[in-house]
Structure 1
Amino acid sequence: MRWRRIGLYALVVGPVFGQPSDADDLASKVNLFIGTTSKGVASGHVFPGATIPHGMIKVGMDTDSPDRHAGYDRNITYNATGFSQLHDTGTGGGYPLSNFKLWPIAECARFGECPTSIDGRKLGRRALKDGSLPDVAEPGYFATSLVSGVHAELTATRRAALHRYTFPKNSKEPRILVDITNDGQQSATNPFTIIDPTTGRTKGGASFAASFGPGRYNAYVCVDVKGDEFETNVTEYGVWQGNSAVQHSVKLSQLYLGATNEAGSLLTYSPSSGKNTTLLVRVGVSFISADKACSSAEEEIPDFDFARVRAESRAKWNDLLGRVRVDETQVDKNTTALLYSSIYRTAIVPANYTGDNPHWNSSSPYFDSYYCNWDSYRTLYPWYAMTDPRTFAQIVEAQIDIWRNEGWLPECRGATVQHYIQGGSNADPILAEYYVKWGTHSPELGVSVDDLYSALITNAEKQPENWNLQGRQTEVWKTYGYVPADIWEPGGANTKQASRSVEYAFGDFCISQVAKGLNKTDDHEKYTTRASNYINSWDSSVSIAGHTGFIQNKFQNGTFHYTDPRHCSIHDPLESTCYLNAVNTDGFYESSPIVYSQCVPHDTAKLIELQGGKDKFVERLDWIFEQGYFDVSNEPSQQMPFMYHYADQPAKSTKRSREVISKYYNLTDTGIPGNDDPGAMASYAAFYLLGLYPLPATRQVLLSSPWFPTINITNAFTNTTTTINAINFKQGVYVQNVTVNGQP
């Protein structure tokens, strides 16, 4: 790539204009298959199935891939095992959700001989004539064809899914299997199944294991089948267990575990005459009860109208995508596709479970699938603040409501249960980001600022019994100003001490910003002081490659515990991983001391001083990039390309940030640098493509050159549009000057 100069003309805020018309279909620019196949550690684990923005239902195809965190794998060598209703996206850990698989069976000799177990029934996908994959994915829609000749199509509302299965003409006894037990981890206990032999309605449920924590959750399903433009009847029915179906049985409860811990229902339907049989299958899911699952499905899809549901889902996505409009005339179409595909992935999760919270009754929204705040606070929530404040406010109020009822803000949460904390208490920057940007609008947005602040103070001042799942290891933080490496407490894993010290400092900075806005002067001073505690973990005696001073683990007595700065990097002689596991006792999480020593976004001026001044700071950044220590796959590195701004070298920020997009992101099924980390990597790419990088809990946005000559960003709450015009776009990429509302 040739690096040139540009002038970024203006940021102009004014009345709404440039809104998408009804004819615009930005959904057509989204590639849902990005990041759906593994390539070494670059496993995006992206969900490509059907959902609406922030929908609870994410209906998609599951495979037998070893990388099936979102159920799916684009690699055609993996078999399909079912079409399940719930998924996460972009996660690591265990295989989450993938509950309540449906499976169409085109033909088997007799009812009792149909393959029902997950290994017995799985089939390959039928390749197209050119050998390519038959899978089709669009916002709100997914389709594939199986080697059995069945064509499967999926669409969704917020709490219900609609499947459409077209069977081959020779299918005389089309069947639908409902799998109650086989979630992603095959973790079901206490499953039950009930069949209504007259209507064919199946209800069921079970208890399942959390994928990144010790908890369990209950989930329930309700399945109804209808012929597509023809009348069909149930001709056979029964429950199945293992690989055996028992005809005319209508109820099953399984209270033990064993080799046959697979169960569900199997129903045969009368075929249509003279043409392919097409069955519509409506599925409701609930975390409260099977009856609740039925009522949700009946409310949202009363008519089994597949075309309507698909069109309405696509319209919701077009509304969301249309909040960012770009001039495509001078840009490669792949760049436009990368932008809108990234924007799409910012809204798959968190998921709106409002009305389906099994733990308490509340008038507040309930959102789930925070997997995890540590990954997403840097860019996902600033993206919401910029484009979708109403949804952002609902998520914030939902997190506050978890604090009201469970005592602590969530850090990592899935399927209504707590998961393990990754870094600090990273709801702090999310709530602070909301307050700094939208706190004055809280009455209209439905957020209690008093409770928001109280929840933050709980994180800052109280220590939970189990700080593996919530809150912080607060007492030692307040006592020492860092987390000592040699204090062992029963309330959590005694690990990540150095990186948690850095995270806690930034959390306290975020709280200080809320305190400042609320005119709580004493609190503002207190948390501003605590935000500087990262300095307590700075060891100026550690050097590598001519760079001096790094974050290190520290003992109670004030001495440091040396850790090679390369630890957990690609150049680590010990090849350490720093994942969340028992063998990680080295003080750092998912990034090296080299990276964490740059993770002071709230106090970069002091960081530059600690590193020997601006020239040394730039030399260190150059070394980090040139030697491969920059780790784009993990979030602590995300701000690093823009840090040259603070040393008065924004041209280098432009160079490095554009290299991130060019080198690490593309439209292929391995086109994400690591897990998508529910929206984190997507929002990161979206900001970079717009030439922006936000600092959470502040009004600071770092500017670079945009990848489009004109960008309109519409705020759905204020109905105002910010326009970015890149003057002389074709002539260069470096920013020469900036004006905002006509002012330099």
Structure 2
Amino acid sequence: MIITRNSLLIFILLFNCALAQKKNKAVAEVDAVNPLIGTPAKGKGGTMPSVGPPFAMTNFTAQTRENKMKAMPYIYEDSTIHGFIGTHQPTVWMGDYGYVSVMPQAGKLAVLPEQRKMKFSHKEETAKAYYYAVKMHDKQGGSVNAEMAAAERCGMMRFTYPASKESHLIIQGINVNMAEDDFHNKSNKRSKLKGYIYIDTLNQEISGYNPDRTAYNLGPELPNFKGYFVLKFNRKIKNYGVWTPEAIVKNETEIYGKRIGAYISFPTKKNEVLTVKIATSFISLEQARENLSREIPDWNFDDVVQTTRNKWQKNLERIKIDGVTTDQRSIFYTAMYHTMLFPREFSEYGRYYSAFDDQVHKGISYNDYSLWDTFRALHPLFIFTQPERVNDMISSMLQMYKEGGWLPMWPNPAETNIMIGTHADAVIADAYVKGFRGYDLNLAYEAMRKNALVPPDHDTKSWGYDRQEWTGFEGRTGLSYYHSLGYVPSDKTAESVSRTLEYALDDYCIAQVAKGLNKTDDYKKLMKWSENYKNLYNEKTGFMEPKKYNGNWGGDTKLSFTEGSPWTYLFCVMQDIPGMINMMGGKEKFAAKLDQNFEGGHYAHNNEPGHHYAYLYNYCGQPWKTEELVRKHTRENYLNQPEGINGNDDCGQMSAWYIFSVMGFYPVTPGSGMYALGAPQFPALTMTFNIDNRLRKLEIKANHLSEENKYVQSVTFNGKLLATPFISHQELAEGGELVFAMTNKPQLHEK
């Protein structure tokens, strides 16, 4: 940890850690989090060591490179830092927007990222969910210490300088770098974007706005979109200027352009500290200032650290684990941390900017929903870990429907049409079936029904390829064919097999809401469509295959699947698993095909379509194989090291799979209200949750769990023996005791 003259922070951290060890014989849950897990480019985890409370609107992190779609701001393998950025980039395959960054410097002023970068070592770096610190070294042998903390919409940084006649803080307000090798720059649309910075020497602040969206070509035009920022300092602004790539202009107070910044300069004594507060807003500069006054009203850095730490601890301790190793503890609570980052809060104390109609509204808002990924496990996990947010997250999607005409697919912050399907349907249906009603239910059904029945613009004219430039909402492209033919044809629409299968799942989910609302005709129609997956199963080959408009098999296999192959999507039918098993020849043949999938190396845990596959053995009488695979993949794909996530975490989905799997149950079918059992990986776990203003506790025990005892002999819930490897949400939501008796031999029968 970096030592500064202000030792209060260090004392607080050490005291809390010592207290936690004394009370719990383990570090507090929040201090078990390792934000560096998932940050290397090699592991493709797509995470960053950001600081800030759960679901923060703005993430503050060290910046090791110019981020873009394909690169996060922080990459573990990098050896230099060129800024500390307030970013809104949710994951490596999605864009940043409305960002702002700062960078300390001693010596001759150099403003561009490649000029101002300084070397650092992970040995001189501390990364916590609530605090980040690093020591950076320049080419002249000098060093600057940086510390960072954050609230929901505002950050606070403390830079400790060396003795220097000339020290600086460089501010970058926008970075539209068209020279960057990014295929989203090739349309040249971003080149027209320009930001603004103003140095106010009277009020001692630097403010501005940034209209950049690095995924600009994927969404609609948004004339009013801006990421506003206000910076305040604990010293007066005396020497200052602005800059562009072409020039540094001293004593100038304004700059307007697409790659611009400002700076302040001052002499420093050894260990002199500059503290910076950064406020962000998507509404206005005035709102940014209000956010700052609410969240960081004074200059007490340590208070910000402690407040954010307390928020994380309160959220993380909702699941307590016992009998685990230090590594298991760190892996688990880092996974929890990753599940509490997205979707991000997007409202600002009762108001929010909507990128769906480019206006400001009253209300609560969330954004950056990676729905193709997160409908599977993340949103079902929120039912237990974040029940107070579930209704607001659904209401936020309904607001997007009202303001833009459709439920979102992948907003960033505007719709981008990324991935396929309309899986907001699955998220809403799952919450509905599990008893959540704190949103406009009639509006929700209207929006879901539109997804199922109304073809989007350009439905039969658009090929719908991945990351296609914006021409309108894509939604269920090929829906007209899906209705008339019973499938999406491979010679008319991209990713046709995956689309057919996922549209069928979403139809099932909507049908469950229709059933609950007594919409009998809709229910029957939707359930019939939910069986459309059968139209693409080729009995001769034993795979889901592309089919042309004329009804003949055929089509480009690679282009007919989303991020995968015929193996990737063979078992993707979640909504009718018994029907899928019968279609494939019965339980024995189905299990044999599953064996081929796992034993033949076809299963890819690093991508989401197969995340439920390990649990399918429960449905064909071989639950012990599920238990083996849960043990295998919770260990192989999750490690307590930087390259500790096998594949992109995708806004918490990979981590949510891990949490469910080590607990011993998994939500295979959204909207069903049922969980498939697996095998718990910890001796004891207690989950506390509050639903309908009633605090409940679910205790999960794995009796006799050991390296050898990885199989489940029997399961009881509140003393009652479970006859099958399934349990309902209704039972678990009441709380109680779920006890697994573990053994060293597979139980060769259905539990």
1:184 and 1:240 map into 2 onto residues whose CA distance is 15
C-alpha distance after superposition, 1:641-668 (max 9, x if no partner): 1110001111000001211112222112
2:177 and 2:716 map into 1 onto residues whose CA distance is 51
Matches within 5 A, 1:375-454: 375-414=373-412, 416-439=413-436, 442=437, 446-454=438-446
User: Match for residue 74 of structure 1?
Assistant: 76
TM-score (normalised: structure 1): 0.84
User: Match for residue 656 of structure 1?
Assistant: 629
2:177 and 2:340 map into 1 onto residues whose CA distance is 22
- Superposed CA RMSD in Å reads 2.3
1:219 aligns with 2:219: no
Residue type of the partner of 2:382?
Y
Are the structure 2 counterparts of residues 738 and 638 from structure 1 closer, same or farther at C-alpha, using a change threshold of 3 Å? same
Report the CA distance between 1:361 and its aligned residue: 4.0
TM-score (normalised: structure 2): 0.84
Secondary structure of 1:675's partner? coil
Are the structure 2 counterparts of residues 291 and 65 from structure 1 closer, same or farther at C-alpha, using a change threshold of 3 Å? closer
CA contact (8 A) 1:35 1:44 kept: yes
CA contact (8 A) 1:379 1:680 kept: yes
Report the CA distance between 1:245 and its aligned residue: 2.0
CA contact (8 A) 2:345 2:365 kept: yes
Are the structure 2 counterparts of residues 134 and 182 from structure 1 closer, same or farther at C-alpha, using a change threshold of 3 Å? farther
CA contact (8 A) 2:548 2:555 kept: no
1:523 and 1:504 map into 2 onto residues whose CA distance is 15
2:129 and 2:220 map into 1 onto residues whose CA distance is 32
Residue type of the partner of 2:548?
F
Are the structure 2 counterparts of residues 234 and 293 from structure 1 closer, same or farther at C-alpha, using a change threshold of 3 Å? same
Report the CA distance between 1:393 and its aligned residue: 1.5
Secondary structure of 1:652's partner? helix
Equivalent residue in structure 1 for 2:480, among 435, 458, 475? 475
1:24 and 1:74 map into 2 onto residues whose CA distance is 25
User: Match for residue 729 of structure 1?
Assistant: 705
What are structure 1's unaligned runs of at least 5 residues? 1-19, 109-113, 255-260, 488-493, 543-548, 568-577, 579-585
Report the CA distance between 1:65 and its aligned residue: 7.4
User: Match for residue 324 of structure 1?
Assistant: 319
- Total equivalences in the alignment: 657
Secondary structure of 1:172's partner? strand
Equivalent residue in structure 1 for 2:455, among 442, 463, 468? 463
C-alpha distance after superposition, 1:613-662 (max 9, x if no partner): 11111111111111110011110110111110001111000001211112
Equivalent residue in structure 1 for 2:33, among 25, 30, 33? 30
2:696 and 2:128 map into 1 onto residues whose CA distance is 29
User: Match for residue 706 of structure 1?
Assistant: 680
CA contact (8 A) 1:92 1:675 kept: no
Matches within 5 A, 1:491-640: 494-542=493-541, 549-561=542-554, 586-640=559-613
Secondary structure of 2:305's partner? helix
C-alpha distance after superposition, 1:456-495 (max 9, x if no partner): 11111112215654421322222122111233xxxxxx30
Secondary structure of 2:530's partner? helix
2:662 and 2:333 map into 1 onto residues whose CA distance is 10
Identify which range, 98-107 or 685-694, moves more after superposition.
98-107
User: Match for residue 489 of structure 2?
Assistant: 484
Are the structure 2 counterparts of residues 220 and 423 from structure 1 closer, same or farther at C-alpha, using a change threshold of 3 Å? closer
Report percent identity of matched pairs: 29
1:310 and 1:133 map into 2 onto residues whose CA distance is 21
CA contact (8 A) 2:572 2:609 kept: yes
Matches within 5 A, 1:691-702: 691-695=664-668, 696-702=670-676
CA contact (8 A) 1:69 1:96 kept: no
1:716 and 1:172 map into 2 onto residues whose CA distance is 57
Q: Which has the bigger relative contact order, CA under 8 A and spacing at least 6?
A: 1
What are structure 2's unaligned runs of at least 5 residues? 1-22, 181-189, 465-472, 722-751
Matches within 5 A, 1:35-114: 35-39=38-42, 42-64=43-65, 69-77=71-79, 79-93=80-94, 95-97=95-97, 99-108=99-108, 114=109
CA contact (8 A) 1:284 1:297 kept: yes
C-alpha distance after superposition, 1:202-228 (max 9, x if no partner): 11123213438244663334333333x
1:560 and 1:402 map into 2 onto residues whose CA distance is 38
CA contact (8 A) 2:97 2:211 kept: no
1:333 aligns with 2:326: yes
User: Match for residue 124 of structure 2?
Assistant: 134
1:457 and 1:482 map into 2 onto residues whose CA distance is 19
User: Match for residue 307 of structure 1?
Assistant: 302
Matches within 5 A, 1:223-242: 223-227=230-234, 232-242=235-245
2:161 and 2:688 map into 1 onto residues whose CA distance is 45
CA contact (8 A) 1:98 1:183 kept: no
1:246 aligns with 2:249: yes
Residue type of the partner of 1:73?
I
